[in-house]
Each structure stands twice: as C-alpha cells, then as structure tokens.
Amino acid sequence: MFSLTGKTVIITGAGSGIGRAIALLFAKQGARVEILDLNATDAQAVVKEIEDAGGAAGWQVCDVGDGEAVKAVIAGVQGRIDILVNNAGIAHIGTVLTTSEADMDRLYRINIKGVFNCMNAAVARMAEQGGGVVLNMCSIASSIGLADRFAYSMTKGAVEVMTYSVAKDFIKQGIRCNCICPARVHTPFVDGYLARTYPGQEAEMFEKLSQAQPIGRMAVPDEVAALALYLCSDEASFVTGCAYPIDGGALNLR
C-alpha cells in the first residue's frame, strides 16, 4: 500500500521541515522527487539523503513568487507530473495594527501567489496528461482565530479556498486537490523563533507552545508527511476537495 513507484513528484520548500520529511518519505515509497527551494544548500542536502538511501531526486533553485521562473522550472520536468505538493511558505506574527503593507505584500507573494503559480503551471500539465494530484499545505489558521496571526491566517484561508476551487474545476480531468491543516509542528522555524524572541527561555516557551495543543505536544514533520503520503497515493483516489486537520485536537477539543 501507498506505493509511489514510477511517479514524479514536485515538492516546493522541501529543503527543511515538513517539506523535507515529505520528500524523504515519498522517495522511500518509490517516487522520483523534484525539490524546488530557494536554499540550494538545503535542497542539495535532501537530494543527497534520498540518493544515499537508494532513491531518485533532483533539485532546482526556485522562487515560487516568480511566475515566469516557476513556469520555466516546471516546463523542464521531463515526462509526467503526477503529484504537486505546495509546501513552500513563510510565517508572520502580528495583529492588523502591527502588520505593515510590506508584510502583507510579502506574505501574499509567497503564500498565495506562490501556490497559484505552481498550480497554474502543474495543473495544465496534469490536465493534458489525464490526471494528477495536488496537495497544498494549509493550517488550522484557515479555520479559527489565532492570536497575532492576522496576515498569515489570511493567506492560509486563501489556500484552503483555492484548494476547493481546483478540486471542483478539474475533477472531470482526473485531478484531485486537497490540503493539510496542521496545528503547531516542531520545525527549525519554531526553534529559530524561540531563540530570537525568548533568548534564555527557549525550553520554557517550547513547553508552553506544546501544551497549547490539547494532546500536549507539537506534531513532528514525519506525522504530517504520513498524512501527505496517504492523500497523494492511489489509496486516496476517492478523496478530493478536502481540508484535513492534523492538529492534536486543537480545532475540536479546546
């Protein structure tokens, strides 16, 4: 079950965190993984991990906010594009009063326009070839009010609705489109945020953030990757137009 043998997968932002975990797992399951990331060093490191484990992978430096660059990179992928995972994104902390116009523009460019750019290029290929799978990385921020996440929540709400739209518009062309909505996931971003914001109090604040989930901890990237594998596999062939929470009870058990 959950074999991806013979499939080509494009994963954005796969140089670290959740994207890296998805890339490693998908390659383990037989997929050829194409990594799109701004950080060449991180992307190369993940490709080496995959190849050292006997898998197949390639990488390209790509700014997902640049539509022409995205089209060029995706046009260069040989053969079918079976799966697109839109994982690249940036975070922001602030209310409507502490969010600047520049912040809004930066978040829109990556988190919304970046997802659009990749789907625009990949879905066209999928429609021509007779099907494919799109998985967008969303957040529980698209469904509930989170403190100090004004602009970030806006972008994730857009991603969720774009997911439904693509699923609806291309269901007859054999394209499935879903999104995953995690609560807090322990990634390098979390560690960096704690180090910058709470120097000397990292352990205390990490525990506080962990306990914010009813389950009492953060998710780890491998758990999100396992859900991604299911949604992108043939075992999920009847699943489309869905937003899947993976949240430790955050949405319903508060």
From the list 108, 152, 164, 198, the catalytic residue is 152
Task: Decide if 139 is inside a domain.
Answer: yes
**Other CB atoms within 10 A of residue 89 CB:** 25
**Per-position pLDDT tens, the chain of length 254:** 999 999 999 999 999 999 999 999 999 999 999 999 999 999 999 999 999 999 999 999 999 999 999 999 999 999 999 999 999 999 999 999 999 999 999 999 999 999 999 999 999 999 999 999 999 999 999 999 999 999 999 999 999 999 999 999 999 999 999 999 999 999 988 999 899 999 999 999 999 999 999 999 999 999 999 999 999 999 999 999 999 999 999 999 97
In a domain, 214, yes or no: no
If one counts the domains in the chain, the total is: 1
List the CATH number of the domain containing 51.
3.40.50.720
pLDDT score, position 189: 87
Contact between 232 and 85 (Cβ < 8 Å): yes
Inside any domain, residue 206: no
Residue 201 lies in a domain: no
Measured CA to CA, the distance from residue 104 to residue 154 in angstroms comes to 9
The residues near 20 (Cβ < 8 Å, ≥ 6 apart) are 14, 42, 46, 221
Do the domain assignments include residue 199? no
Distance, in Å, from the CA atom of 103 to the CA atom of 107, rounded to the nearest integer, reads 6
Look up the domain containing 106 and give its range.
Answer: 8-183+219-244
Query: Is there a catalytic annotation at residue 198?
Result: no
CA–CA distance, 98 with 177 (Å, rounded to integer):
34
CA angle 43, 49, 52 (to 5 degrees): 135
Does 45 reside within a domain?
A: yes
Decide: pTM greater than 0.85. Answer: yes
